[in-house]
Amino acid sequence: MEYRQADGEVEISGVTDFDIGRTFECGQCFRWNPDGSGSYTGVARGRAARVRSEDGLVYITGDLADFENIWRQYFDLDMDYASIRRSLCVDEFMERAARFGAGIRILRQDKWETLCSFIISQCNNIPRIKKIVEALCREFGDPIEFEGGEYRDFPPPERLAPLTEGDLAPLRSGYRAAYILAAARAVADGEIDLEKLAAEDCADAPRALKALPGVGDKVANCVALFGLHKLDVFPVDTWMKKVIGERYGGSLDTSVFGGYAGIAQQYMFFHARSQPPPGGGTLAGDVGNM
């Protein structure tokens, strides 16, 4: 990988398997939005940025310090996803799914933001998840100035912990409000230590997360994969049940993917969700990874 400062952006070259659209649209994050020109603008780790690709290069607004301290890790740019993708082509279907999803990278997102976002994602569709997340940030997040506009950082658990369900009424999150507050209090009080879970054995993380009210297998596994970067976790939702049923007779031994079952899951999920449904139409508004 090579990178250099270029007129208010950092130009990145030499990174294989880095497709910003597929990475942002595969259901793992909810704060990056396209502007119609192929660029995405979003907020992560207290910074707003615009990301675009052109002629095989990727450009991220900001300076080299921000790139080296934030975005290099956030986009997992030191991981060789091309090599991982080739290792996941264990059968004909995975060859197709991996080829279709080439360019997806598992973001290294803020752990608390990921937990809260996937609690919100329960029985929800991606546009509504984004709407609730943005409302949460607008009401309780710190302001971030960017390109003449104001964005909002994701509020820390300590800020949400003292609130009531009534305080969250403007989010229109329904029954999820109680779960958001319970998770915020558990993290703020140290009952759930997300940093410790990220460093522990993979099996321990989902088990600990499921102690939180409203967090079941799907949410816990999504948080482990997308927030704690446990790349061997394989979340199973309705999409994955359909794929496993149709392609693997209802049973799949994910150990065949080695330590990268979570990346395989993303290729499978993205492939399945992007296929035209019976009778035509699109899947743009369908439920995300939950």
> Where residue 122 sits, what CATH number does that domain have?
1.10.340.30
* Angle, alpha carbons 110-39-118 (nearest 5°): 30
Number of domains in the chain: 2
Angle between helices 111-120 and 217-226 (to 10 degrees): 150
DSSP 8-state assignment for residue 144: E
Q: Is residue 231 part of a domain?
A: no
Residue 11 lies in a domain: yes
Per-residue tens of pLDDT for the chain, all 290 residues: 999 999 999 999 999 999 999 999 999 999 999 998 889 999 999 999 999 999 999 999 999 999 999 999 999 999 999 999 999 999 999 999 999 999 999 999 999 999 999 999 998 999 999 999 999 999 999 999 999 999 999 999 999 999 999 999 999 999 999 999 999 999 999 999 999 999 987 678 999 999 999 999 999 999 999 999 999 999 998 889 999 999 999 999 999 999 999 999 999 999 998 875 444 433 333 344 44
Same domain, 65 and 116: no
Q: Is residue 237 part of a domain?
A: no
102, part of any domain: no
Sort strands 32-34 and 9-13 into parallel, antiparallel or unpaired: unpaired
Integer Cα distance of 177 and 165 in angstroms: 6
Q: Are residues 46 and 120 in the same domain?
A: no
Active site residues: 218
Tell me: do 120 and 219 sit in the same domain. yes
Q: In angstroms, what CA-CA distances link 248 with 50, 227, 252?
A: 40, 28, 6
280 domain residue, yes or no:
no
Report the C-alpha gap between 244 and 250 in whole angstroms: 5
Q: Which residue has the tokens 């933001």?
A: 113
107 touches 23 (CB < 8 A): yes
| Pair 158, 209 in one domain | yes
Q: By residue range, what is the domain housing residue 140?
A: 111-226
What is the distance between the alpha carbons of residues 56 and 31, in angstroms, rounded to a whole number?
A: 24
Distance CA 281, CA 290 (A): 21
CATH number at residue 45: 3.30.310.260
Together in a domain, 127 and 221: yes
